[in-house]
Chains A and B, each alone.
Chain A
Amino acid sequence: MPNRALAANSIDVGVLFSQTGGLSIIEKSLSDATLMAISEINSAGGVLGQQINPIVEDGASDPKTFNEKASKLVIRDRVASVFGCYTSASRKAVLPVVEKRRNLLFYPTYYEGSECSKSIVYTGAVPNQQLSVFIPWIINTLGKKKFFIVGSNYVYPREMAKVSKILIEQNGGEWVADEYLELGHSEWGAMVGKIKASGADVVLSNVVGDSIIAFYREFINQGLTHAELPICATVTAEIEVAAMGADYAAGSYTSVPYFQAIESEANTSFIERFRAFTNDPKAVSHHAMESSYFQVYLWKQAVEAAGKATPAAIVEGVKGQSFDAPNGRVTVDSDSLHVYLTPRIAQWQADGQGKIIEAYPEPIRPFPYMAYGETEDSLFCTAAGLDTAKL
């Protein structure tokens, strides 16, 4: 048991992402960002005078493997917390393990919401943090009122569409269609034809994965332009824009809390350090990867606040913690264990970077159940857990 030997002056944590398989392209960057934060904290003296010892496991792009590896980390290695998971499917597979064994998962991805576990700290955006500034901005600033909503056919785009419809109606717009294509679908001829014939003046895209590339290409190839009929997206990020060729995205919009192009001392230094850490001068930074980084610092502050590194103490300690992340100030909401984030809107430029044209003045509160009517005055996810009477 090599980990036991270290136990006296170090704290074990699990790092659980896919190092192999189809999702490893993205998840490797999340794993790297996590390890970079750990190494930074260690060289600054660690936490409570102890070094952090990351135990890296491979989820292999397979939810069942995620479940097994999480059990191994929690039961055999007795880690203080696990940093990991990218897809909702892998999170759902790890959830019963951390809940039953009273451990703690730090989850960095933007996701569809509708979850209120007291064993998970969610540091990515939920739908209201991507959409509640975006939709009013599209209607009022862009002046576009007729939405064509399109997405990949699974839970995230469908929940995003629900929240979008609530916001579109609240702001006096209308939606003319809500359409889905299989995940990974790459033949967009018919769908783009439908968009053209629909009379919509803006496209809201929740398309995921490499379908995005075929979609934007077909959109331009059919003679549509982002100037007349802009694609406003929630997932399209630096990686996809680079893969499709920046010309196809130039002029379209995306809303997430973090862009590589954020101009701040903190972000520039973050990107430089990440490129040095991964030894890749062209490494791209993105939202989930930035969350993977700052959530380790939130964890560190929680351990220090609690005075000890046990999951039960950390989950109490993390409530209300704030940290100056590359994207700005992030704060853990004591009720939902989600994070306050600053919504940003960027327009894609011909160089493949997003130009930030709108940033909300302050971080906004996460409402994981907004699709079902959660508001500031009527919280569904409270410190006591999910209020099921309201669903």
Chain B
Amino acid sequence: MADIIFIGLSLGSILLLIALGLTIIYGAMGVINMAHGELAMIGAYTAVMAGIHLNLNLILAIPLAFLVTATLGWLIERLVIRRLYSRIMDTLLATWGIALLLQQMIRLSLGLAFFGITIEGMGTGLQSVTLPEAFSQVWRIGDFVLQPYRSFIILVTLGLAGITWLLLYRTAFGIQVRAIMRNPEMAAACGIDVRRVSSITFAYGSGLAGIAGLLLAGLKTVSPDMGASLVVDGFLVVVVGGVGSLVGTIVSAGLLGQINGVVAILSNDILARALVLGLVILVIMWRPGGLFNFKGR
């Protein structure tokens, strides 16, 4: 029983990790960021490259991955998204295009592949990261096997959710972000610099994606197209939780993770996936705005 709950918790924490950045960006800016998965992919590659070239282990690479992806996110906001506000279909297409660009950038070693130069750690192939020694042992409590790495992911996710909550609800910056979520025009009229706040929000959300990708790199292979499936899972959580609602995102990630884990163990993973998708459809039919929606925008 403890095994099943642990796996569900772990699945939920991974979902939350991806959805956290997505929900802030979607909530605050109304931008459906299709490049979110690719930002996670860049985070994973940061871990790979840091391991190869800087000899940094996975944990030390976390701040680096955050910085790299946050900077990239900031640039994307400045160069592209800023020009497309309140044109939701256009941002959808533009961020999709950015996603393709980022994938090819890694595949072609930043374009150097055209000149016959390959950067170790990039390229078309599969990459992987080695976990620090401490994570490769298992802790046994009776029959129950606690996996240190999955536990670490759960803790980091809770930590990031906590930091995000503090940022949104206990700082002056957070008040501005929440004001923009409710009504951007009114917020601007009150003297809030909407553009500046949006840039920072987008950069922060991108940084969260980078950490998510880095942590996932310890569980699976790193490849240029790893991001595409992540973004789908992320959106499921955001849609069920309610746009821009931090609590909603946490609850729905936990819920979908547990259902997925329990059904996967009792029957199989394919049925679990189908059931989760079915449930998402039911939830948005019953409450189109998600479980924790507030009136706004």
Could you say which of A104-112, A114-122, A165-173, A214-222 contacts chain B? Answer: A214-222
Would you list which residues of chain A between 183 and 197 have a CB under 8 Å from chain B? 184-187, 189-191, 193-194, 197
On whether the beta carbons of B269 and A182 are closer than 8 Å, the reply is yes
Interface of A is mostly: helix
- Distance in Å: Cβ of A319 to nearest Cβ of chain B: 39
Could you say which of B57-65, B73-81, B84-92, B120-128 contacts chain A? Answer: B120-128
Known: A213-B221, A214-B220. A180 touches B270 (CB 8 A): yes
On whether the beta carbons of A190 and B265 are closer than 8 Å, the reply is yes
On whether the beta carbons of B269 and A210 are closer than 8 Å, the reply is no
Residue of B nearest to A213 (CB): B221
* Bound CA–CA A223/B6 (angstroms): 15
* Bound CA–CA A182/B269 (angstroms): 8
* Bound CA–CA A223/B150 (angstroms): 13
Q: Which residues of A contact B269 (CB under 8 A)?
A: 181-182, 185, 187, 190-191
Query: At the interface, yes or no: B4 with Cβ under 8 Å from chain A?
Result: yes
Would you list which residues of chain B between 191 and 221 have a CB under 8 Å from chain A? 219-221
On whether the beta carbons of B7 and A193 are closer than 8 Å, the reply is yes
Residue of B nearest to A221 (CB): B147
Q: Which residues of B contact A243 (CB under 8 A)?
A: 125-128, 221
- Distance in Å: Cβ of B149 to nearest Cβ of chain A: 6
Q: Which residues of A contact B7 (CB under 8 A)?
A: 189-190, 193
Q: Which residues of B contact A214 (CB under 8 A)?
A: 219-221
Residue of A nearest to B223 (CB): A210
Q: Which residues of A contact B147 (CB under 8 A)?
A: 221-223
Query: At the interface, yes or no: B19 with Cβ under 8 Å from chain A?
Result: no
Contact with A along B260-291 (1 / 0, CB 8 A): 11001100111011000000000000000000
Q: Which residues of B contact A187 (CB under 8 A)?
A: 11, 14, 219, 269
- Distance in Å: Cβ of A186 to nearest Cβ of chain B: 4
Q: Which residues of B contact A190 (CB under 8 A)?
A: 7, 260-261, 264-265, 269, 272
On whether the beta carbons of B219 and A186 are closer than 8 Å, the reply is yes
Q: Which residues of A contact B136 (CB under 8 A)?
A: 220-221
Query: At the interface, yes or no: B119 with Cβ under 8 Å from chain A?
Result: no
Would you list which residues of chain A between 10 and 41 have a CB under 8 Å from chain B? 22, 24-25
Query: At the interface, yes or no: B186 with Cβ under 8 Å from chain A?
Result: no
Option from B138, B221, B272, B273 in Cβ contact (under 8 Å) with A222: B138
Query: At the interface, yes or no: A244 with Cβ under 8 Å from chain B?
Result: yes
* Bound CA–CA A210/B223 (angstroms): 9
- Distance in Å: Cβ of B281 to nearest Cβ of chain A: 19
Option from A194, A210, A223 in Cβ contact (under 8 Å) with B265: A194
On whether the beta carbons of B264 and A244 are closer than 8 Å, the reply is no
On whether the beta carbons of B221 and A189 are closer than 8 Å, the reply is no
Number of A interface residues in the complex (CB < 8 A): 31
On whether the beta carbons of A222 and B145 are closer than 8 Å, the reply is yes
Contact with B along A223-250 (1 / 0, CB 8 A): 1000000000000000100011100000
Q: Which residues of B contact A220 (CB under 8 A)?
A: 136
- Distance in Å: Cβ of B107 to nearest Cβ of chain A: 10
Query: At the interface, yes or no: A201 with Cβ under 8 Å from chain B?
Result: no
Q: Which residues of A contact B127 (CB under 8 A)?
A: 243
On whether the beta carbons of A223 and B138 are closer than 8 Å, the reply is yes
Query: At the interface, yes or no: A153 with Cβ under 8 Å from chain B?
Result: yes
- Distance in Å: Cβ of A227 to nearest Cβ of chain B: 15
Residue of A nearest to B262 (CB): A190
On whether the beta carbons of B270 and A244 are closer than 8 Å, the reply is no
- Distance in Å: Cβ of B242 to nearest Cβ of chain A: 25
Q: Which residues of A contact B128 (CB under 8 A)?
A: 213, 243-245
Option from B3, B138, B219 in Cβ contact (under 8 Å) with A193: B3
Query: At the interface, yes or no: B130 with Cβ under 8 Å from chain A?
Result: yes
- Distance in Å: Cβ of B99 to nearest Cβ of chain A: 16
On whether the beta carbons of A213 and B11 are closer than 8 Å, the reply is no
On whether the beta carbons of B138 and A221 are closer than 8 Å, the reply is yes
* Bound CA–CA A193/B131 (angstroms): 21
Q: Which residues of B contact A24 (CB under 8 A)?
A: 124
- Distance in Å: Cβ of B40 to nearest Cβ of chain A: 13
On whether the beta carbons of B3 and A217 are closer than 8 Å, the reply is no
Q: Which residues of A contact B126 (CB under 8 A)?
A: 25, 210, 213, 239, 243
* Bound CA–CA A223/B126 (angstroms): 25
Query: At the interface, yes or no: A374 with Cβ under 8 Å from chain B?
Result: no
* Bound CA–CA A48/B140 (angstroms): 69
Option from A22, A153, A181, A210 in Cβ contact (under 8 Å) with B221: A210
* Bound CA–CA A187/B149 (angstroms): 14
- Distance in Å: Cβ of B174 to nearest Cβ of chain A: 33
* Bound CA–CA A186/B130 (angstroms): 17
- Distance in Å: Cβ of B267 to nearest Cβ of chain A: 10
Query: At the interface, yes or no: A179 with Cβ under 8 Å from chain B?
Result: yes
On whether the beta carbons of B219 and A217 are closer than 8 Å, the reply is yes
Q: Which residues of A contact B225 (CB under 8 A)?
A: 22
On whether the beta carbons of B264 and A191 are closer than 8 Å, the reply is yes
Contact with A along B119-162 (1 / 0, CB 8 A): 00000111110100000101010000101011000000000000
* Bound CA–CA A214/B14 (angstroms): 15
Q: Which residues of A contact B264 (CB under 8 A)?
A: 189-191
Query: At the interface, yes or no: B10 with Cβ under 8 Å from chain A?
Result: yes
- Distance in Å: Cβ of B254 to nearest Cβ of chain A: 15
* Bound CA–CA A214/B219 (angstroms): 6
On whether the beta carbons of B219 and A218 are closer than 8 Å, the reply is yes
- Distance in Å: Cβ of A280 to nearest Cβ of chain B: 10
Known: A22-B225, A189-B7. A180 touches B220 (CB 8 A): no
Can you list 6 A-B pairs, Cβ within 8 angstroms, ordered by A?
A: A185-B269, A186-B221, A190-B7, A197-B3, A210-B126, A213-B220
Q: Which A residues form the contact surface with B (CB < 8 A)?
A: 22, 24-25, 153, 179-182, 184-187, 189-191, 193-194, 197, 210, 213-214, 217-218, 220-223, 239, 243-245
Beyond A181-B269, A187-B269, A190-B265, 14 extra complex contacts between A and B, CB < 8 Å: A22-B225, A25-B124, A153-B270, A180-B268, A180-B270, A187-B219, A189-B7, A189-B261, A190-B260, A190-B264, A191-B264, A194-B265, A223-B145, A223-B147
Listed from nearest, the 5 A-B pairs whose CB atoms lie closest are A190-B264, A223-B138, A186-B220, A243-B126, A214-B220
